[in-house]
Amino acid sequence: MKIVLSQLNYTIGDLKGNVSQMVEHVHRAKQDGADLIVFCELSICGYIPKDMLNYESFITRCYEALDDLKSHANDIAIVVGMPTRSGLVKGKSLYNSAVVLADGEVLQEVHKTLLPTYDVFDEYRYFEPNTNFKLVEYKGVKIAITICEDLWNLNEPYLYATTPMDELIGLQPDIMINISGSPYSYNHVEERKNRMVANAKQYNLPLVYVNQIGAHTDILFDGGSMFINQTGEIAEELHYFQEDYRCVEWSKDEIYPDNSHDYKDEDIELIHDALVMGIRDYFGKMGFKKALLGSSGGIDSAVIHALAAEALGPENVLAVLLPSKYSSTGSVVDAEALAQNLNSPYKVISIEEMVNVVENTLSPHFEGYDVDVTEENIQARSRGLLLMALSNKYGSMVLNTSNKSETAVGYATLYGDMCGGLSAIGDLYKMQVYEMARYINRDKEIIPNEIINKAPSAELRHDQKDSDSLPPYPVLDKILMLYIEKQKGWTEIVDLGYDEELVRKVIKLVDRNEYKRFQAAPILRISNLAFGIGRQMPLVGKFYN
Amino acid sequence: MKIVLSQLNYTIGDLKGNVSQMVEHVHRAKQDGADLIVFCELSICGYIPKDMLNYESFITRCYEALDDLKSHANDIAIVVGMPTRSGLVKGKSLYNSAVVLADGEVLQEVHKTLLPTYDVFDEYRYFEPNTNFKLVEYKGVKIAITICEDLWNLNEPYLYATTPMDELIGLQPDIMINISGSPYSYNHVEERKNRMVANAKQYNLPLVYVNQIGAHTDILFDGGSMFINQTGEIAEELHYFQEDYRCVEWSKDEIYPDNSHDYKDEDIELIHDALVMGIRDYFGKMGFKKALLGSSGGIDSAVIHALAAEALGPENVLAVLLPSKYSSTGSVVDAEALAQNLNSPYKVISIEEMVNVVENTLSPHFEGYDVDVTEENIQARSRGLLLMALSNKYGSMVLNTSNKSETAVGYATLYGDMCGGLSAIGDLYKMQVYEMARYINRDKEIIPNEIINKAPSAELRHDQKDSDSLPPYPVLDKILMLYIEKQKGWTEIVDLGYDEELVRKVIKLVDRNEYKRFQAAPILRISNLAFGIGRQMPLVGKFYN
């Protein structure tokens, strides 16, 4: 049996576009003499259309798109992902399904059993879980089809009472197919491979695993589809962050030869590729070609500038230098050098006159009050206003320049440096931003070393350094990682040897700045716990007392 | 048996504070000779602590708080809501439970079966559903305890395969208790009463129904706890939007006398009370006393000013008038008259000089470009910057002034008039804002009639009217209601008799402005489908084609 693994980039809701690119792969598969082609989870509509699924008319359109695809299902069977109507009187009205097409008709529907509802996933919001287990038989081969999460309840932590393959194995399948919508995070690639290999070994069956690529704003799909033979060897592994097509041949009687290659690049390389794809895909799907950003001569804006230049072309990224009286000379010089290294256009616009007028306008109303953070925020918001005006006028999108460390502790000004349509490094702690800068400079000095070596500063008052108000980043990042990713309480973190006063201060900063993150730009997700939909905290509330 | 219904306002995560107010009601219940006191769903920790539930240490604190409460459970039994550890090897680690305390110990735990995961609810993100049905026996009375949603699968739409009371009724209970966290929406109060009455009738049992009050940012709990007798008459109904305590007496042998009063106020009155509570509670729980808002002389800011004055005291609400060269004289005069009617302080700060400097600063960079929406946004963002600066300096919170109609179609400037810490009328369509103004003026003219009668305008260019770019609000609001609340696609709306071109234009505006709403302030929810967590749409994506 020849099986094609089709790894594509889908657009949510673009049913015609999605089907049309699937049809291209179907034609190619027919030319290759394939018996079966497999697309990923919810491939008809893109993963996941969220509340579009509540629209009856949207589901109707999905069925119409399936009809289009059916007409190509001759001389080949097609496995495609889509929401299907459950028809239940009691229970939710939809299933998350794999639909098998053959001879121009629906041969069978298989529904997802385990509905991830945690982190960035909310499938139980929409779908009824499957409770009825059966195989699909095609050309004499008995196939156990599952959908993504269905194969993840094999080892601890067991998040569900049921393990679907334990139900299916009794029906004696010959092969497993899993259609997936599995997003990237830097510690997810290895885990995914381990889990899928464990399934092949546990059930002594080969596994066809098909994922997707592309960015749906914050969620980055990395691909990495696989064919794993029944001894658990990865016989074929498709590309990461690129569309791909692979035809594998398999017979009931032989074990597919092992020609696996281990994927062993360091995390930072894949994170880099993930962010470049994330920026490129968000701009593409939103219909934007050009970006601009406030370039301060600091490490954050430098890294974003370099990533955006790679994603969009350097000529499409405008660096706007917005010095004030507190900016060091180095700031402007370093940002200029960066733009020149990248071959990007840049502008220098002083904010001084604007800040003066704002302060004059407000001075009668500030009488009797001390100078405080207000004046710093006025500078940040003046910059935000100018960047937004330029983006309106030029039809480009502002790239937000916040990193995860400052987003966590609220070291940013709402509507000021928090402005922008997309946060490209909002899931990178400050120390990871430095790592990324070094990776960008791996072949030559793109980001000037002066930028990498200077002490971080917001430059909103004289001689300001981040370290005036924040602990050193290596310490801060570790505490944040424990509190955010590892979900440790303050006593647990103190028990690990961190200073109690410091831990309490950091956690308090994270908690009290929830309201700022509520209004933050969407963040490209590269960790297993990013700010945004993956971390949902009350705005009002005390985190125990 | 004497049963106390305790209807309180809880703070999420404030375990000590929550228990301490429960203990007060326990003491009072003992003085009243009560056998049993009932608190609402998740009363120990507040509904719903969201991802705080993922912190092991948070759950430990909940158990410690339960220990505190236990020590008061002598001479009285207590029903309290809290997350409990499931101890399951396969499945989620928590249940959403009712814990029954008696004689200083845990008598029994009852777990929630139906976990709402739609609209603003995401309980399956955290909890394992119950599958084991049993009664609680206390003082010879067999009690069927359920938790909120558990009683909602009695009529269509049946969202779940199981109906918990169908399982419990076979065990022959004497009475039902439902502990609830049921939020307000203007069409929810009647529905809730109907559903609970239907349960009493269906199972021929009395029902003790205990809800909570208070605002958790966007979610507004309205109270309205009830004692319903077994014929389905509402014998006791507690207050709306106020804490309350009621001791009811019931015996197995008699039907409680019916002294029900129908709750029949018009929607707008309860919406008004909901918004006033929502503003007051958000400020209180966030630790703010003072608000300020941009007061334009238009209907939206006028209504918010009046609501905030009632919630916080008029002296704590500062109206900031920010006229430009496009502002009509009426704008300033009307906003001043409003502030005087309300006895609120106000300031007039012209934005002209600031706008001029911004335009001069940018003019070399705008050469060759036409005047467009950029210049309008500069005005809106200049106002936003000044409001935020004043709020920083005065330690007050900016109230956002957007309504649901303009939020829907994106008729608002990100970081401009979209700024603010709380959106008080973001769930009111424009026509509902007018209704609210008339309700506020029910006894005397608080909002000047000039404000109510003038044509809506953003006043960002000469002689601008909302109707230049938007359809008339009575039509727009109806299309929006069909698209947003009723989840109709464009063909279905056109079939109802609306102009196709208009419908397509409106829907396109709603879809393409998802990115703006992503960064909007939290919105007080008073409808059954508010923007925010209750409506989750992809930013990137085409809503079918």
Calculate the average pLDDT of chain A: 93
Mutation pick from B162, B352, B415, B537 vs chain A, by most beta carbons of A within 10 Å, is B415
Q: Which amino acid is at A380?
A: A
CA distance B63 to B286: 25
Tens-digit pLDDT profile for residues B480-503: 999 998 888 889 999 999 999 999
Confidence at residue A254, expressed as pLDDT on a 0 to 100 scale: 55
Please state at what angle helix B352-366 crosses helix A352-366, rounded to 10 degrees.
170
Residue positions counted in chain B: 545
Helix residue ranges per DSSP H, A369-419: 373-394, 404-409
| B483: closest CA of chain A, how far (Å) | 9
Please state at what angle helix A329-342 crosses helix A299-312, rounded to 10 degrees.
20
Confidence at residue A487, expressed as pLDDT on a 0 to 100 scale: 86
Residues of B in contact with A366 (CB under 8 A): 393
Q: What is the mean pLDDT of residues B217-222?
A: 90
Calculate the average pLDDT of chain B: 93
Closest CA to B269 of B296, B240, B289: B240
Task: Give A265's pLDDT tier (boundaries 50, 70, 90).
Answer: very low
Residue-wise DSSP of B255-312:
PPP---------HHHHHHHHHHHHHHHHHHHHT---EEEE--SSHHHHHHHHHHHHHH
Tens-digit pLDDT profile for residues B327-361: 988 889 999 999 999 999 999 999 999 999 999 99
Is the pLDDT at A264 greater than 50, yes or no? no
**In this structure, what token pair is assigned to residue B306?**
């009046």
**A332 touches B328 (CB < 8 A):** no
Query: Is A148 labeled as catalytic in the residue annotation?
Result: yes
Query: Is A112 labeled as catalytic in the residue annotation?
Result: yes
Tens-digit pLDDT profile for residues A437-487: 999 999 999 999 999 999 888 888 888 888 888 899 999 999 999 999 888
3-state secondary structure of A325: coil
Confidence at residue B185, expressed as pLDDT on a 0 to 100 scale: 87
Tens-digit pLDDT profile for residues B227-279: 999 999 999 999 999 999 999 998 876 554 444 333 234 689 989 999 999 99
Confidence at residue A233, expressed as pLDDT on a 0 to 100 scale: 93
Give residues with Cβ within 8 angstroms of B340, minimum separation 6. none
Asked if A12 lies within 8 A of B542 by C-beta distance, the reply is yes
What domains lie within chain A, and their CATH numbers? 2-251 (3.60.110.10), 270-466 (3.40.50.620)
Answer left, alpha or beta for residue A491, where phi above 0 means left and psi between -120 and 50 means alpha.
alpha
Q: Which amino acid is at A357?
A: V
Confidence at residue B265, expressed as pLDDT on a 0 to 100 scale: 41
Confidence at residue B262, expressed as pLDDT on a 0 to 100 scale: 34
**In this structure, what token pair is assigned to residue A238?**
């498709």
Q: Which residue has the tokens 């008699």?
A: B254
Task: Give A262's pLDDT tier (boundaries 50, 70, 90).
Answer: very low
Of chain A, the percentage scoring pLDDT greater than 70 comes to 97
Strand order across the beta sheet in which A422-423 lies: A346-348, A317-321, A291-294, A397-400, A422-423
Residues of B in contact with A541 (CB under 8 A): 11-14, 46, 49, 52, 216, 285
Tens-digit pLDDT profile for residues B148-185: 999 999 988 899 999 999 999 999 999 999 999 999 98
**B226 touches B238 (CB < 8 A):** yes
Give residues with Cβ within 8 angstroms of A343, minimum separation 6. A309, A314, A315
**B403 touches B430 (CB < 8 A):** yes
pTM here is 0.89
For B215, name the nearest residue in chain A, comparing CA atoms only: A540
Confidence at residue B258, expressed as pLDDT on a 0 to 100 scale: 43
Query: Is B190 labeled as catalytic in the residue annotation?
Result: no
Among A350, A357, A542, whose Cβ lies nearest the Cβ of B14? A542
Among B128, B522, B542, whose Cβ lies nearest the Cβ of A539? B522
CA distance B426 to A337: 46
Among A17, A492, A545, whose Cβ lies nearest the Cβ of B15? A545
- Tell me the ipTM for this assembly: 0.87
Residues of A in contact with B536 (CB under 8 A): 50-51, 122, 125, 533
Tens-digit pLDDT profile for residues A194-221: 999 999 999 999 999 999 999 888 889 9
Bridge-based pairing of strands A77-85 and A317-321 is unpaired
Is the pLDDT at A257 greater than 70, yes or no? no
Give residues with Cβ within 8 angstroms of B186, minimum separation 6. B267, B270, B271, B526, B527
| Residue A143: alpha-carbon gap to chain centroid | 31
Closest CA to A109 of A101, A117, A121: A101
| Residue B209: alpha-carbon gap to chain centroid | 20
Of chain B, the percentage scoring pLDDT greater than 70 comes to 97
- Segment (H or E) for B530: none
Burial class (CB in 10 A: 0-12, 13-18, 19+), A364: exposed
- What are φ and ψ of residue B217, in 5° steps? 60, -100
Confidence at residue B266, expressed as pLDDT on a 0 to 100 scale: 66
Residues of A in contact with B161 (CB under 8 A): 88, 90-91, 128
Confidence at residue A473, expressed as pLDDT on a 0 to 100 scale: 94
Of chain A, the percentage scoring pLDDT greater than 90 comes to 82
3-state secondary structure of B103: coil
Asked if B392 lies within 8 A of A373 by C-beta distance, the reply is yes
Residue B40 is given by DSSP the state -
Asked if A381 lies within 8 A of B389 by C-beta distance, the reply is yes
Mutation pick from A166, A371, A519 vs chain B, by most beta carbons of B within 10 Å, is A519
Burial class (CB in 10 A: 0-12, 13-18, 19+), A491: exposed
Residues of A in contact with B362 (CB under 8 A): 349, 386, 389-390, 393
Confidence at residue B359, expressed as pLDDT on a 0 to 100 scale: 97
CA distance A512 to A541: 9
CA dihedral B388, B391, B393, B394 (to 10 degrees): 170
CB atoms within 10 A of CB A107: 16
| A441: closest CA of chain B, how far (Å) | 32
Tens-digit pLDDT profile for residues B15-60: 999 999 999 999 999 999 999 999 999 999 999 999 989 998 899 9
Task: Give B473's pLDDT tier (boundaries 50, 70, 90).
Answer: very high
Q: What is the mean pLDDT of residues A297-303?
A: 97
A with B: how many residue pairs have Cβ under 8 Å apart?
296
Confidence at residue B267, expressed as pLDDT on a 0 to 100 scale: 82
| Residue of A40, A62, A148, A419 marked catalytic | A148
Is the pLDDT at A261 greater than 60, yes or no? no
Peptide bond into B157 cis (omega under 30): yes
Asked if B415 lies within 8 A of A388 by C-beta distance, the reply is yes
| A543: closest CA of chain B, how far (Å) | 5
CA distance A365 to B394: 10
CA distance B309 to B480: 30
Give residues with Cβ within 8 angstroms of B114, minimum separation 6. B129, B149, B150, B152, B153, B159, B160, B162, B164
Residues of B in contact with A117 (CB under 8 A): 117, 122, 124-125
| B424: closest CA of chain A, how far (Å) | 15
CA distance A203 to B304: 63
Is the pLDDT at B424 greater than 60, yes or no? yes
Tens-digit pLDDT profile for residues B385-396: 999 999 999 999
Confidence at residue A489, expressed as pLDDT on a 0 to 100 scale: 86
Tens-digit pLDDT profile for residues A132-171: 999 999 999 999 999 999 999 998 889 999 999 999 999 9
Helix residue ranges per DSSP H, A262-298: 267-286
